[in-house]
Structure 1
Amino acid sequence: MRQSVEIEFPRGADSYAVTRWAGEAPDAPVVVAAHGITANGLAWAPLAEAVPEIDLVAPDLRGRGRSRGVGGPYSMAAHADDLVRTLDHLGIEQATLLGHSMGGWVVAVAAVRHPDRFGGVVLVDGGLGFPLPPDVDMDELLDALLGPAMTKLRTVYADRDEFLAPWRNHPSLTEVYSPAVEAYLARDLIGTAPELRSACVLEAVRDDAADELRNPEAVGAIRALPVPAVFLHAERGLLNEPVGLYPPAVVAAAELAGAGVDVRFVPGTNHYSIVLGDRGIAAVAEAVRALLQ
């Protein structure tokens, strides 16, 4: 198993946590990865195993995991600037960006705001906006989209197994569940039994969702990328529904090629397995390697 190093540095009200998997060579190319809206940096552990030649840097974004105490503001710009501060703390001049789900918006905004620090962007089932009614209730939208991921934010668990049980049986995870996936999920737990909770800050999830879907800077970032970019979209949805978050017809209508984005459909994957399962990891690894070349 590839060894990782945990790094923390002062940021805001608390410390910002980063997991780093050093590359095989001292001069390995750096990839900085942003996770999804209720996830944490260990979501990238399976990819780290598959691409040992890169130096993979994966923060717990503010309001999540071990960065939950950093505090607001919560927005794509705040997360993007945190990625640059991470590079500064580690003494890294330039990196390739990789983002999954909400992380897609984070890295797109990072590339637009800091074009001198990033050489390419891989967006994985995220970063492309879709129209919302002006009066949509954000909590209702998040519950409809994320289901169990939102339920965990409001639930108190008696022990670790009670927390993990719904995920072991989650329709999108049953085929890819592994010790690495379980470690990623368990990183989210805080507190002491019998009062365990998710580390995700509900305010952060709400504010970030509103920002990624309504803020013109975040919504428009994918069409303003100043560096080479790849957009990967999964065949199936968040609950392994037959239709993905980004149906092929919707992606085609977005005409991302006109904005210089290389669009790739990833069959046999859903919103989670595209970063946690072998097929998805292979597609992400191929996209990353293509940009690094």
Structure 2
Amino acid sequence: MPVPGGELAVGVWDTEDPDAPTVVAVHGVTSSHLAWELLAEALPGVRIIAPDLRGRGHSNALQGPAGMRAHAADLAAVFEDLDLAPTVVVGHSMGGFVSVVFTYLHPELVTHLLLVDGGLPLAAPTGLSPDELVAAILGPTAARLSMRFADTDAYLDFWRGHPAFVGEWTPALERYLAYDLVPDGDTLRPATSYAMTVEDTVDLHTGTTILDAVRGIHRPTTLITVPRGLQNESPGLYPRDHLAALLAEHPEMQHQRWEEFNHYTVVLAEAGAVALAGVIAGHLAAPAH
């Protein structure tokens, strides 16, 4: 669909029921709409709408501004283009921050907000250059963007040893990873734009955009956090003391801590998707505010 700067790719898992409820799902910083395939399977009676954010997936050629407000504007364009009624919005990782800003700017389009290990300010280091900030927060996730691979099998082999997916390798994960690749001469590279990743990461951790948005949300919001991060390491994105301070500042926000998952498996493993589906089904059944 057209947006400023080009075209945005949007994934749709539809149903045969024209009156089926709709959920809008927003992926993370180096991800794509296929992060939500298992969620769609766990919600067979629900229409799932999930864009590839600009600079990612099949929207990787989309240039123009990055940052949370730009992604939120793209999300608003999706609502308008598909004539979507107000509904549940779920965001994972950076998608949580996009969803927070979107809900702040367009509260009339959101009935409930579900944040999955993202959306509230992280305990990021200060005084770093943009590249250093990206490296500190994303580590090997960002380093991967400069790598090149001979073929899809080589890329899958690269991921097979990833500590976050030990015991969680599935055909759905392979499809998700293979979709990430685009041609680069005689090789393949990850689709995600490093420049946009830098711009988005800096936007998350400088200025007041996120703080203003979180404080200005007036929609029922649930935050799910997990104890392990992008490399299956502890303490993950939200250490307990930092998380406790955030929750004390936002007592209106419902919080669930899911101990059995890491930052990836909470969405990309079947058990995580099924658990998320249960929360979303509850939000869809709840009265809109």
What TM-score, normalized to structure 1?
A: 0.91
Could you tell me whether the CA contact under 8 Å between 2:99 and 2:113 is conserved in 1?
yes
1:134: how far off?
A: 4.2
Root mean square deviation of aligned Cα: 1.7
Could you tell me whether the CA contact under 8 Å between 2:122 and 2:238 is conserved in 1?
no
CA distance in 1, matches of 2:5, 2:232: 38
1:204 is aligned to: 196
Could you tell me whether the CA contact under 8 Å between 1:266 and 1:283 is conserved in 2?
no
CA distance in 2, matches of 1:154, 1:40: 18
- Between the two proteins, the alignment pairs up a number of residues equal to 285
Aligned partner of 1:280: which letter?
A: G
Matches within 5 A, 1:208-247: 208-247=200-239
Q: Secondary structure at the match of 1:112?
A: helix
Moved more, 153-162 or 265-274: 153-162
Q: Secondary structure at the match of 1:39?
A: coil
Aligned partner of 1:58: which letter?
A: A
2:101 is aligned to: 109
Aligned partner of 1:13: which letter?
A: G
Could you tell me whether the CA contact under 8 Å between 1:13 and 1:69 is conserved in 2?
no
CA distance in 1, matches of 2:215, 2:276: 20
1:131: how far off?
A: 4.5
1:83: how far off?
A: 0.9
1:132: how far off?
A: 4.0
Could you tell me whether the CA contact under 8 Å between 1:23 and 1:56 is conserved in 2?
no
Q: 1:37 aligns with which of 29, 36, 39?
A: 29
Q: 2:61 aligns with which of 65, 69, 72?
A: 69
The gaps in structure 2 that reach 5 residues or longer are none
The gaps in structure 1 that reach 5 residues or longer are 1-8
Q: 1:50 aligns with which of 42, 46, 55?
A: 42
Q: Which string of whole-angstrom CA distances, capped at 9 and with x for unpartnered residues, describes residues 113-161 of structure 1? A: 0011111100000011134454212322322332332122111211111
Q: 1:80 aligns with which of 72, 78, 96?
A: 72
What TM-score, normalized to structure 2?
A: 0.93
1:292 is aligned to: 284
Runs of 4+ in 1 over 3 A off after TM superposition: 131-134, 256-259
Q: Secondary structure at the match of 1:239?
A: coil
Q: For residues 145 and 165 of structure 1, do their structure 2 counterparts lie closer, same or farther at Cα, with a shift above 3 Å needed?
A: farther
Q: 2:13 aligns with which of 14, 21, 25?
A: 21
Could you tell me whether the CA contact under 8 Å between 1:104 and 1:124 is conserved in 2?
yes
2:87 is aligned to: 95
Matches within 5 A, 1:146-161: 146-161=138-153
CA distance in 2, matches of 1:88, 1:13: 17
Q: Secondary structure at the match of 1:96?
A: strand
2:255 is aligned to: 263
